[in-house]
Amino acid sequence: MTVRTWVDPVDVHAVADRVEALFRSVFGGTADGVWVAPGRVNLIGEHVDYAGGLVLPFALPYVTTVAVRARDDDQLHCVSTHTEERWHGDLSEVAPGHPPGWAAYVAGVVWALRDSGTVSAGTGFDVAVHSSVPVGSGLSSSAALECAFALAVADLLGLPTDADGRFGLIAACIRAENQIAGASTGGMDQTVAMLAHPGHALLLDCSSGATRLVPIDFASANGRLLVIDTNAPHRLVDGQYGNRRAALEKACAELGVETLRDIDDADAALGSLTAPESVKRVRHVLTEIRRVSEVVELLTQARIADVGNLLTSSHLSLRDDYEVSSVELDSAVDAALEAGAWGARMTGGGFGGSALALVPADRVEAVVERVLRSAARASLPTPQFLSAEPSRSAHRLRPTSCRWSR
């Protein structure tokens, strides 16, 4: 397999042309429309979402497109350029574990909207998918797929898609991923895919659900944020995620709090925990939540280069206290720092996936070269580099103006 060093964002219309072509060739005729949702990267605030913490993701200029046509029966037909595996079946039979495979992310959205009474039975969908988001790299291709399709369903069935309406869709996408696809994740990915804004990160308070847009402009400080896809698939499903969540729950019980967000005195809390492992896990969460607030403050003051130190502290905390890094992520982060990055860290759930490096513009080439060399020397997969331009949220691309009356 040849690996491209730079994965440039593909023009969204080119992605849409491809999905429409797939739709035509598989289903015949034309789709009712094409909807788009972005992948995302989390600038900082890792493994704190399920602890009621703060996260700061933004949307990437890599998107998943779905071409969708409503059907008058209860059937769902799914096809994707990503895989040969197609699925069709009855929407009334969707349940945890069914359908198996990727169609769960699509079918689960309709299941959740029906289960909450938001939509009723009687409408099915033909769905074609094409994406420029790397799949399984920790950049949230799964939420991009759910959110693009959820928006399609909402438009086609006349549900509101304004900010309020989107919160309902976000909830449906989260339930699809947790309950039907069986991936136990928090709601950050779906929230940012639905609410992101170009040029901004989205500060999400996972305790209250409150969101705030925070401007980020790395270029103004002559900086560039690189996403480094290590090409080692993130391996969250092997029990480690559940294990970390359980460790935090145990610590909360010991500390007598509902979530770690409720802790005011971090030193006292850490001092009162008995198991050394609990101390490490909780220390990561408490320090990481503080780092998110500090990064927001620095971004507000346009002190971009200073953000770098906090990114690196986040990485060390995830590596040493939370123990969710991997040899590939450490290699990329260490190499980026050696080559002059202001800061770097793993991003996403860990155990593979992607890293971020905040780099002065004149060091970009040196960082890329050093990261590649370091991976080659350790016989690791060849990393790829992606653009981290904060981009827009899910939207309908085609037709540009239209109302369906179902």
List, by residue number, the catalytic residues: 189
The answer to whether 142 contacts Mg ion (rule: CB under 5 A) is: yes
CB environment 175-213: b (16+ within 10 A), e (fewer): bbbbbbbeeebbbbbbbbbbbbbeebbbbbbbbeeeeee
Binding mask 92-131 toward ligand ADP (x if CB under 6 A, else -) reads: ----------x--x-----------------------x-x
Q: Compute the distance between CA of residue 305 and CA of residue 307 in angstroms, rounded to an integer.
A: 5
Using the structure block, give the residue that is written with the tokens 């994406």. 131
CB-nearer residue toward ligand ADP: 137 or 313: 137
Among 145, 148, 263, 368, binds ligand ADP (CB under 6 A): 145
* Tokens coding 357: 């490096």
CB-nearer residue toward Mg ion: 140 or 354: 140
**Pick from 310, 305, 352: which is nearest to 138 by CA?**
352
Task: Return the ∠ at Cα 25 (arms to 1 and 93), rounded to 5°.
Answer: 90
CB-nearer residue toward ligand ADP: 86 or 377: 86
* 175, 112 Cβ separation under 8 angstroms: yes
The answer to whether 391 contacts ligand ADP (rule: CB under 6 A) is: no
The answer to whether 42 contacts Mg ion (rule: CB under 5 A) is: no
Q: Compute the distance between CA of residue 49 and CA of residue 41 in angstroms, rounded to an integer.
A: 14
* Tokens coding 72: 């008058």
CB of 349 to Mg ion, least distance (A): 8
Q: Which region among 140-148, 198-206, 211-219, 269-277 touches Mg ion (by CB under 5 A)?
A: 140-148
The answer to whether 394 contacts ligand ADP (rule: CB under 6 A) is: no
* 57, 202 Cβ separation under 8 angstroms: yes
The answer to whether 83 contacts ligand ADP (rule: CB under 6 A) is: yes
Among 80, 231, 278, 384, binds ligand ADP (CB under 6 A): 80
CB of 393 to Mg ion, least distance (A): 17
The site for Mg ion (CB under 5 A) is made up of: 140, 142
The site for ligand ADP (CB under 6 A) is made up of: 64, 80, 82-83, 102, 105, 129, 131, 135-142, 145, 183
